[in-house]
Copies of this chain bind each other. A is one copy, B any other.
Amino acid sequence: MKNQKTKFVILGLLTIEPMSGYEIKKFISESISHFWAESNGQLYPALRELARQECIELKEKKLNGKQESHLYSITKKGRVALKVWLGEANRGKSISRDEDLLKLFFGKSASIQGSIALLQKREARISDKLNQYKEIQKVIERHSHSPHALYWRLTLKNGICHAQAELAWCQEARAALQSGEEQ
């Protein structure tokens, strides 16, 4: 079977409420983008295959004017499949590839200024991330009575913890490079 993960993301999101492909993408970017991403090239084929497998069904073909939007909802079969996957142990090796760290690791071959600049940019990016998290926080609080909210807060908190740890490290690392530079 192909596109394993993508399919489970879709199933999971459809337990919240019926959504269209477009809404799924938007939801991802507004809630789990800090640890998960999907592109159109994966999303739409996966939607089709899930429908073919009867794990989701077309609930409604909205036609606002002439514009069509396919609203999918999860089926019983889909819920079962999701639950099975949730219960499975992850053989996952989370592929982590951090290009910044790679460049810093090779810092001896670069200029100290270059490495410092890299860290500054990283710091700026992490700060942006923390701001994005505040947006996600708002989304969650809008659903604060939902039975999902507890889990959403936990995953968000994970992102925040790492962002804070990262910021602290960036500052420390930058200080180390700057003191090295003075000598």
Contacts A37-B95, A102-B8 given: A107-B161 contact, CB under 8 Å? Answer: no
| Interface residue A5 (Cβ < 8 Å from any Cβ of B) | yes
* 7 A-B residue pairings within 8 Å (CB atoms): A34-B96, A86-B110, A86-B114, A105-B155, A108-B150, A115-B151, A165-B165
Within the complex, what minimum Cβ distance (angstroms) separates A56 from chain B? 14
| Interface residue A166 (Cβ < 8 Å from any Cβ of B) | yes
- 10 shortest interchain CB distances as A-B pairs: A165-B165, A12-B106, A107-B151, A86-B110, A35-B98, A92-B99, A35-B101, A161-B165, A161-B169, A105-B155
A166 touches B161 (CB 8 A): yes
Contacts A90-B99, A100-B92 given: A108-B15 contact, CB under 8 Å? Answer: yes
A101's contact among B15, B103, B110, B158, by CB below 8 Å, is which?
B158
Number of identical monomers bound together in the oligomeric complex: 2
Residues of chain B with a CB closer than 8 A to A105's CB = 12, 31-32, 151-152, 155
| Interface residue A162 (Cβ < 8 Å from any Cβ of B) | yes
Contacts A37-B95, A168-B161, A172-B157 given: A82-B109 contact, CB under 8 Å? Answer: yes
Q: How large is the interface on A (under 10, 10 to 19, 20 to 34, 35 or more residues)?
A: 35 or more
Within the complex, what minimum Cβ distance (angstroms) separates A49 from chain B? 19
Give the most central of A92, A118, A147, A155: most B CB within 10 Å.
A155
A162's contact among B157, B162, B173, by CB below 8 Å, is which?
B162
A89 nearest in chain B by CB position: B121
A107 nearest in chain B by CB position: B151
